[in-house]
Structure 1
């Protein structure tokens, strides 16, 4: 099958750390999450990533918040490919709670509803925004080697396919080390997070992270995974993926797309998740790649049918 006709996974990250002051259309309540997710699934979205209204919740409290939103969705659409985020303290200067606490809600959710994907953030990164003088301020999102090992073990133990967020090239080096050691769990997908000019928090432009959303940057990542056959996607945090060259380039080279209100920022517009998805769908059609169904997404990732 040629690249031009290979199904493309379009993952929609519907909320994340975005709040109404940044985009008034962000779905945060259970009802709003359900409304957006059902609409996106009906429109053909391949995968959904979701947060709760409070990322600081842990354990049973976090699980309850996710289940309130997601149980009705999965009762009607049990084939949905989706995953929650980790519990992380994002207060000023914080680096996160214990690794056990960050994952405590995962097995609880998976014991109640279909859930096949987990998260591994394979490295530390500085995340911030400019102060009044344009100087970077913020915090360090810490993921030690021990934390990373624990995250992979959670995926192995529970049969979760790891969603591998690549904020920096060093993150990918760690993933490749696990692959060489034969310890990369089934279904792993690397997701290249490019730093847009407004950064992770969109509190001002000029302070960001990682590589910029340029063709040369994507080429560098692809050189690193050459010969691995790892599925990969691209996203831009603090910008608009579709307004950069990496979106079309990814489609033309066989990659996948990660879009949605979580990472999108444009000071001149605040689109809905559906508007972002429809714009993404139009680009896929222009390039000539159909959007993967849930079944095709599981086939690409090598995941079993949750109903069979």
Structure 2
């Protein structure tokens, strides 16, 4: 176990200003939030734009990402950035719903793609209602879609950020990795459901189930709690004890407070310091993941 931890900040997601007035929503606000977090210790940053997640055609434009990311990459050239993608549009080819991800990789912006290797019902809340930004239908990617995203990521010379919403997502990833079909530089993101009723809850036994699956794979991994508080619930500390990395941010956070992204990041940095660890620099994160320096 090294003393460095890769820290990611997901700066907005679908969080509205009504939920938290500090959430960045415009490209300029997103750029400022990302730069602030990178300057404070994050190595990976992730954002959504104001395009809805569930659309008829699943198409997202690369333009808001280009506007937000260009100044960030100019200031932090080794930072790793990746986008989101549309969901719920049945019958839409992956080439269409992933086109903006491919365009960003083609422009060598961000260094990472997004690969979600499966399908999941992700919108149900503990209240029994569906989250406003979601829909009562699945977020879906077929095995063929998954293979396409991995293949194009490799061809474009990028590294995949692999979202794990359910254990089956990880088993798919590990099988493809064993057969040489997961590109170099991959990082597995273990997403636990807080108030969102998907996947596994943020408990020690749930984390250990994932760690057991990952054993021997060599894949770096991180944890996040969607609809919760990854530091406050103790999952971040458990991940650090097991050699994992951590994601925080206003996309994920749910609780009584109205924190900023920097405040959530600082809480994680305090935990790292207390455990004798530190946040990896952008260059160190690239080295850990096996991603070449920017240039």
Normalising by structure 1, report the TM-score.
0.87
Give the secondary structure class of the aligned counterpart of 1:249: helix
- Counterpart in the other structure of 1:252: 241
- Counterpart in the other structure of 1:223: 212
Query: Which moved further from structure 2: 160-169 or 19-28?
Result: 19-28
- Counterpart in the other structure of 1:306: 294
Offset of 1:122 from its aligned partner?
0.8
Deviation string for 1:80-101 (max 9, x for gaps)? Answer: 2211222x156xxx55843112
Distance in 1 (CA, whole Å) between partners of 2:228 and 2:159 is 27
Distance in 1 (CA, whole Å) between partners of 2:129 and 2:8 is 33
Matches for 1:168-179 after TM superposition, within 5 Å: 168-179=166-177
Contact 1:27 1:36 in 2 (8 A): yes
The reply to whether residue 278 of structure 1 matches residue 276 of structure 2 is no
The number of residue pairs the alignment matches comes to 289
Distance in 2 (CA, whole Å) between partners of 1:156 and 1:237 is 28
Contact 2:83 2:113 in 1 (8 A): yes
Distance 1:95 1:237, change over 3 A: farther
Offset of 1:191 from its aligned partner?
1.0
Distance in 2 (CA, whole Å) between partners of 1:83 and 1:96 is 24
Offset of 1:106 from its aligned partner?
2.6
1:195 pairs with one of 186, 193, 196: 193
Distance 1:130 1:116, change over 3 A: closer
Q: Can you give the 5+ residue segments of structure 2 that lack an aligned partner in the other structure?
A: none
Matches for 1:1-308 after TM superposition, within 5 Å: 3=1, 5-55=2-52, 62-86=61-85, 88-89=86-87, 94=89, 97-129=92-124, 134=128, 138-196=136-194, 198-199=195-196, 208-266=197-255, 268-307=256-295
Give the secondary structure class of the aligned counterpart of 2:121: strand
Contact 1:14 1:26 in 2 (8 A): yes
Offset of 1:179 from its aligned partner?
1.2
Give the secondary structure class of the aligned counterpart of 1:241: coil
Contact 1:79 1:305 in 2 (8 A): yes
- The CA RMSD measured in Å over matched residues stands at 2.2
Q: Can you give the 5+ residue segments of structure 1 that lack an aligned partner in the other structure?
A: 200-207
Contact 2:12 2:249 in 1 (8 A): yes
Distance in 2 (CA, whole Å) between partners of 1:236 and 1:150 is 28
Distance 1:107 1:170, change over 3 A: closer
